[in-house]
Amino acid sequence: MSKVLIIGAGGVSRVVVHKCAQRKEIFSEITLASRTKSKCDSIAAEIKSMTVNTAQVDADNVPELVALIRAEKPSLVINVALPYQDLTIMDACLETGVDYLDTANYEPKETAKFEYSWQWAYHDRFREKKLMALLGSGFDPGVTNVYTALAAKKYLDVVEEIDIIDANAGSHGQPFATNFNPEINIREVTAPCRHWENGKWVETGALQTKRSFDFPEGIGPMNIYRMYHEEMESIVKHIPTIKKAQFWMTFSDNYLKHLEVLQNVGMTRIDEVEYNGQKIVPLQFLKAVLPDPGSLGPLTKGKTCIGVVARGMKDGKRKQVYIYNICDHEEAFKETNSQAISYTTGVPAVVGAMMMLTGKWRGEGVFNMEQFDPEVFLAELGPMGLPTVVVEGEWPEL
């Protein structure tokens, strides 16, 4: 049994706390910390099966983080704070000799740029201290990396192409809202698109490439838009046979219409502007007036479908495999008081922590999810609430 320190108190954190508390044979003690302790107290009060301790910490402040980690003495720090804070939390883990896990890669505040270079640069430091850092243990990134590794291990001799496809077929009834942190969501969606093709990154405009995809289990056809997502960077590095990798996500016409207007009037800018003698960042102001994603849980109905279509060769023949999960917003809320977007990120974070704490996934240094055995991870993911579906078929000729 192990003690964990969870940093961050948003929707994903709520799911992580709920799911850790369900596995007391692994997570014997839980401390939840964030800048606003009252948010931690609110989440902790939902847990009836065990006591969840709470604390206040500024995740941008390494000395504060170090003091908290030394006081709590956890076996693992689970970072579900903002991507801006990954490096300070990693620094604190190094200083205190504690393993680290997160769900999204580092991003500097001043630039909407997603890449692993900053965190991969920590590899030698973690290895020298015999510590492990597991990056991107959410769903995408996270489970999508594991699905790709499963395709490479079990279903294809050679993986040549992957399409990661993320659909939120749910509805919350609001004119415009984001299903996770609005600042991070809008920065991600409006960034230039990149996909991997023939050994290099190809850049196109944000959301310029549109396709239709027929989603399973009654969801049906939806428009999907190509965009950049961080897991492609690590997957093509660790599975170098991949010649083409693309990431696709669904957006409603209503969402895209509102986003276009907000961009046109400058509300998605991340640079400072002066207003009434004060410096403000328009996107941060927009975040303050949009609905809190945590408030969408009781309003959201429908399902998510996130998966990987992998194509390649098996026994000398062209083959395709589609590996996916369906998650129901209302069922997720019933269990954890969070909708499926938070649920599909939080549950894999807990399973990644379980892999580390039980020794099923171990290493010294900084690692991505596809570097470990996918089957032991998925064997836990299903019973924890996110079952995997595999559909095998021929790779159709173009």
The pLDDT of residue 398: 43
Helix, strand, coil distribution of the chain in percent, nearest 5? 40, 30, 35
Contact 246, 163 (CB under 8 A): yes
Region 276-288: mean pLDDT is 85
Q: CA dist 398 to 113, 154, 205, Å? A: 34, 25, 25
pTM above 0.75, yes or no: yes
Mean pLDDT of the chain: 93
Calculate the CA 237 to chain-centre distance: 19
Region 36-42: mean pLDDT is 98
**Partners of residue 107 on adjacent β-strands:** none
The percentage of residues in the chain with a pLDDT greater than 70, rounded to a whole number, is 96
The percentage of residues in the chain with a pLDDT greater than 90, rounded to a whole number, is 76
118, containing H or E segment: helix 117-120
Q: Please tell me whether residue 363 adopts helix, strand or coil conformation.
A: coil
Contact 315, 164 (CB under 8 A): no
100, containing H or E segment: strand 99-102
175, containing H or E segment: none
Region 261-271: mean pLDDT is 81
**Where is average pLDDT lowest: 30-44, 151-165, 228-242, 288-302?**
288-302
Strands 244-250, 193-197: pairing kind: antiparallel
| Number of other residues whose CB lies within 10 A of the CB of residue 201 | 13
Give the DSSP letter string of 177-188: --SS-HHHHHHH
Region 149-161: mean pLDDT is 98
Q: What is the tens place of the pLDDT at every residue in 327-378?
A: 999 999 999 999 999 999 999 999 999 999 999 999 999 999 999 999 999 9
pLDDT greater than 80 at residue 64: yes
Q: What is the tens place of the pLDDT at every residue in 179-224?
A: 667 777 787 788 899 999 999 999 999 889 999 999 999 999 999 9
Exposed, middle or buried, 97 (CB in 10 Å: 0-12/13-18/19+)? exposed
Which of 40, 38, 33 lies closest to 56, judged by CA? 33
Q: What CA–CA distance (Å, rounded) separates 137 from 388?
A: 16
Q: What CA–CA distance (Å, rounded) separates 247 from 194?
A: 9
Contact 255, 171 (CB under 8 A): no
